[in-house]
Amino acid sequence: MIVNLKEILNLAEGGQYAIGAYNTPNLESLMAVLGAAEDRNVPVIIMHAQVHEEIVPIEAVGPVMVSAARKSSVPVCVHLDHGEDLDYIRKGLELGFTSVMYDGSRLSYEENVQNTLKAKWMARQYGAGIEAEIGVVGGREAGLGENAEDLYTDPTIAKKFVEDTEIDALACSFGTAHGFYQSAPKLDFERISQIRKLTSLPLVMHGGSGVLPEDYVKSIACGVRKINYYSYMSRAGVEGAKKFFQSDNPAYYHDLALAAKISMTENILESMKVFYQR
């Protein structure tokens, strides 16, 4: 069944767990995520990021995501991740996405608030939820040579941002990064707790794959209710396809794609054990 962001985060609040939010830029990843969620009988968020437009246009993948969510036996939120363009956000809403994230983290505070309010107004017209970001998560967003801690979310600014925008979920920076980690990230749990205390909002962990299991658990206890997970799931797919290719010398591409889907499903199931604490 398809639900919006606020509805699915209410489930997380009630159960004191985090919703896994997985990028699905192709059919294999979409099938892996929804298959795992139905196997575990847990709500889930499927995402299309604007940065993945070069992999697959939102016009192509969006309707497939929305249709699959409607047919699922578990609650599914269809989320547009890191929308930096208001027209692109509108496009996702018109396609049936039930949640959008406006990412104005690299803009001035005033511009971020102004555009977040515009994105929220659009989302509300479609009954969709709204996530926004204050602070800068490392990796794709952060420039080289920057001190990561200087980009972490300031709890007092986060409080003001939430008051000024009245969003449904807050993406904040506290030590994670997009992409692959060279060493285990060191998360600022005190910062997470303080932001949660001052905003009373469900918090979102971006760059969530690759974090230590015990750090997921601590983050959830501190108020994280949505964990964005993609890089390590995607790499699991690559490793699955590699192993199959080396052992079976397949003649058909669809056999490689199936092997990748199976490996991604296994990786997703492992993450769900921790996110949903079951």
39 is catalytic: no
The answer to whether 131 touches 140, Cβ cutoff 8 Å, is no
Question: How much is the pLDDT for 143?
Answer: 39
The answer to whether 83 touches 119, Cβ cutoff 8 Å, is yes
Question: How much is the pLDDT for 175?
Answer: 77
Give the number of other Cβ atoms within 10 Å of residue 183's Cβ.
Answer: 5
Question: How much is the pLDDT for 247?
Answer: 76
Q: What are phi and psi of 242, to 5 degrees?
A: -60, -50
DSSP conformation class of 50: G
| CA 239/CA 70 separation, integer angstroms | 31
Question: How much is the pLDDT for 199?
Answer: 97
Is 80 in a helix, a strand, or coil? strand
Q: Which of 169, 202, 203 is nearest to 187 (CA)?
A: 203
What is the pTM for the complete model shown? Answer: 0.92
Question: How much is the pLDDT for 179?
Answer: 61
| CA 234/CA 107 separation, integer angstroms | 30
DSSP conformation class of 51: G
> For domain 2-275, which CATH number applies: 1.10.8.100, 3.40.640.10, 3.20.20.70, 3.40.50.10440?
3.20.20.70
Per-residue CA distances from 238 to 58, 64, 201, 241, 260 (Å): 23, 23, 36, 5, 6
Question: How much is the pLDDT for 145?
Answer: 40
Per-residue CA distances from 97 to 17, 68, 237 (Å): 23, 12, 26
In degrees, rounded to 5, the angle at the alpha carbon of residue 140 between the alpha carbons of residues 156 and 209 is 85
Of 81, 103, 168, 215, the active-site residue reads: 81
Domain locations in the chain as residue ranges: 2-275
Q: How far is CA 272 from the centre of its chain?
A: 14
Q: Is residue 56 packed enough to be buried (19+ CB in 10 Å), middle (13-18) or exposed (0-12)?
A: middle
Per-residue model confidence as pLDDT tens for the chain (278 residues): 999 999 999 999 999 999 999 999 999 999 999 999 999 999 999 999 999 999 999 999 999 999 999 999 999 999 999 999 999 999 999 999 999 999 998 899 999 999 999 999 999 999 999 999 997 665 444 433 445 566 789 999 999 999 999 999 999 988 776 665 565 668 899 999 999 999 999 999 998 887 889 999 999 999 999 999 999 999 999 999 998 888 767 778 898 899 999 999 999 999 999 999 86
The answer to whether 148 touches 161, Cβ cutoff 8 Å, is no
Radius of gyration of the chain (CA): 18
